[in-house]
Structures are given as structure tokens and as C-alpha cells.
Amino acid sequence: MDFALNEQQEMMQTMARDFLAGEYTDKVLKAMVKDDKGYTPELWKKLAEMNLTGLAIPEAYGGVGDFLDLTIVLEEMGRACFNAPFFATVVLGAGAIVEAGNGAQKKEFLPKIAEGKKIITLALPEQSGKYAADAIKMKAAKKGNDFILNGTKLFVPDAQNADYIIVAARTLESKDLQNGITLFIVDAMTSGITVKPLKTIAGDKQAEVVFENVKVSAANILGTVDKAWPHIEKIIQKAAVARCAEMVGVGRKALDISLEYAKERIAFGHPIGAFQAIQHRCADMLIDLEGSRFATYQAAWRINENLPAAREAAIAKAWVGQACRRIVSSAHQVHGAIGFTEDHILHHYTKRARAYEFSFGDVNANLEKLAAL
């Protein structure tokens, strides 16, 4: 049992933290929330130069580090309330290709991702918003050596910024709904694809992607036709844990600024942090935060070790989703009216916490998973 980061991991953490502290100031955060793309090509280039876009991609394809390193960096990104197609490209896109792609596909896409040359995302949920096999209804009809895709995907991260969209569609009607799903990697410019950005309260870039008679070659199938669901389950697990890491960072920032405020704000002749009600609230925030970190890293470690992680990932997502929500709510309570203003930084974290909570499995869905295990 060892809760320490090793030297390499500590370096990764410091590097990411310093980079984001320098590059992603509150001013940049506010601007990117408003911006349509949500990031600048200059920033993306810098991420690539620091090898961050190659995280958890196998070295053979120009990548660096493992899933734990990625988790550590994602925590720092959460802390900065970072907006960029990083989660989409590195966690989802690269993750799906590493998980399900063949040698040729890995060679084709992974180095480009690592070098920061391509943005990729994964289109999974449909109208129900669920991340489950029975929620995938979009059809892909076979036509010779191609498939014709028809349907609508929702809440696709950074689809408006993506060069490629990996999409899950049904190629076979089967009584067993986990059978018959296929993953396709599609050029975002393919005729028939319409990307409609979705404006969320969180300023994160999500989109609706409509597929109208979109022709995709069978060569662009990731994995085996009809058999994608086991891969998708693994991707959902990784994505959920990645979101947990980001939420831990969000929570850390919310707690940090609350402490700062509680120590400075004077009322009744004392810093408000001296009052028990505030102290107890902050204590609960720390408990929530530390528990979140432990649960997240346990799941991340198991994924990294290729151990079964369904239970631990569900526990992490169920806990962190609620814990982060409690932390940001408490942060508002500590800050009083000033934290309620648009000008203050806190609401960005609050809104982002909710976005991450619902991304790749909300609290209820994960509790249901656990109850069934």
C-alpha cells in the first residue's frame, strides 16, 4: 500500500501545475469560456511541445507516460478550470484508438495526436444522454465495403473543434443490446455531418452531431464490426475516472479560494474562518476532497495495472460527483454574496463541476451499477 507519487509523477504534477498557472490565468479562463473554440492554437502547440498531448499513448507511437501520469495532469487541469479539446483528444480519441484500433490505425492517428496535429473526439450518447448499450440506437447500414450512418449524437465534447469523430452506431439488430455496436472513426469534414455547438452554462465546448447518410469505409472501423461494446465499456471507465481527476482539481481550487477568503474576510472583529460554522464546513470540504482523491487514484491505478476496475471506477464517479458538488456549494456559502457574482471566479468552477458530474456517467447511473454488482 503506497499513497505517494514517485519522482516522475511528482515532476509531471509540478510541470503541469506551473505551466497552467503561467498560461491559464483567471483572465484566460474567462475569455476561453466565452470563446467559441475555447482554446487557442498557440496553447495547443505548447501542450504538444510539453508532450502533454502524447500522455498515455504508447511510446512506439510517439507517446509518453501512462494513465496515472494522465490522471495527475488532468487533476491540474481541473484546478485551472482548463478548457481545451484535451479530454476529448487524449482521453477519448487516443484512448479509443489505443483500446480498439489495429496497427495501421494506431500508426495513422496516434503520432499525429501526440504531436498536437489532430483533434479527435468520441460521440457516444444520444437523446437519452446515457452511456449504456441500450442507449445506442443510431444506425449504420452496410452497403458494399462501406457503412451509411444516420442519426444524432449529443453532448459530444469539442466536436466543433475535431478533425475526426469516433462514433458508436448499431450495425446489427440483436436481442442482446450489447451485441451489434460498432465504432467508426470518421473525418469530421465528411459530407453529411453537421456539427451544431451546444451552449452550456459551463462554457465547456459540447456539440450535437447530426449524421445524414454519412458514408464510412469499413477500413475505418475500430476493432471488430458488431463487437465494440466491451471496448466502449473500457473507454467509459477511463473517461469517468479522468473526469473524477478533473473534479478533484476543481474541488481543490474551490477549497483553496474559500480558505483564502475565510482567513481574510473580517466579521464581528474576527476572520470568519475562526467561526465554527465556517470551520466545520471547510473541514467537510477537505474530507470530501481527500476521499475523492483516494477513490480516483485507486481506480486510476487499477486501470493502469490492467486490473478489473468496474467497481472502483463506479465508486469513484459516484463519490466524486457528489463530493465535488458539495464542495463547490460550500465554497459559495463561505464566500457569501461576492462569490455569487459573475465577476468572481468561483461560478466557473461550480458550473464546470456539474458538467463533469454528468459526463460519462452521473451519480445515479453509477450507484445503479454498484447495486447490480
Summarize as ranges the residues that interact with other proteins (CB under 8 A): 1-6, 9, 68, 259, 262-263, 270-271, 273-276, 278-280, 282-284, 286-287, 290-292, 294-295, 297-298, 301-302, 315, 318-319, 364, 367-368, 370-371
Q: Least Å distance between CB 82 and other proteins?
A: 23
Q: Least Å distance between CB 12 and other proteins?
A: 12
Q: Which is nearer to other proteins, 159 or 313 (CB)?
A: 313
Q: Least Å distance between CB 85 and other proteins?
A: 28
From the list 329, 334, 320, 323, the residue with the least C-alpha distance to 351 is 329
Place of cell 469505409: 217
Beta bridge partners of 216: 147
Q: Least Å distance between CB 64 and other proteins?
A: 18
Q: Which is nearer to other proteins, 98 or 300 (CB)?
A: 300
**Rounded to whole angstroms, how far apart are CA atoms 238 and 166?**
16
Q: Which is nearer to other proteins, 219 or 283 (CB)?
A: 283
Give the helix/strand (H/E) hosting 149: strand 146-157
Q: Which is nearer to other proteins, 49 or 264 (CB)?
A: 264
Q: Least Å distance between CB 260 and other proteins?
A: 11
Q: Which is nearer to other proteins, 199 or 268 (CB)?
A: 268
Q: Which is nearer to other proteins, 49 or 260 (CB)?
A: 260
Contacts of 28 (CB under 8 A, 6+ apart): none
φ/ψ bin of 269: left (φ > 0), alpha (ψ from -120 to 50), beta (otherwise): left
Q: Is 310 helix (H, G, I), strand (E, B) or coil?
A: helix
Q: DSSP readout, 182-203? A: EEEEEETTSTTEEEEEEP-TT-
**Rounded to whole angstroms, how far apart are CA atoms 166 and 91?**
12
**Rounded to whole angstroms, how far apart are CA atoms 136 and 146?**
20
Beta bridge partners of 51: none
Q: Least Å distance between CB 101 and other proteins?
A: 28
Q: Least Å distance between CB 318 and other proteins?
A: 5
Place of cell 458508436: 168
* 158 DSSP 8-state letter: T
Q: Which is nearer to other proteins, 197 or 273 (CB)?
A: 273
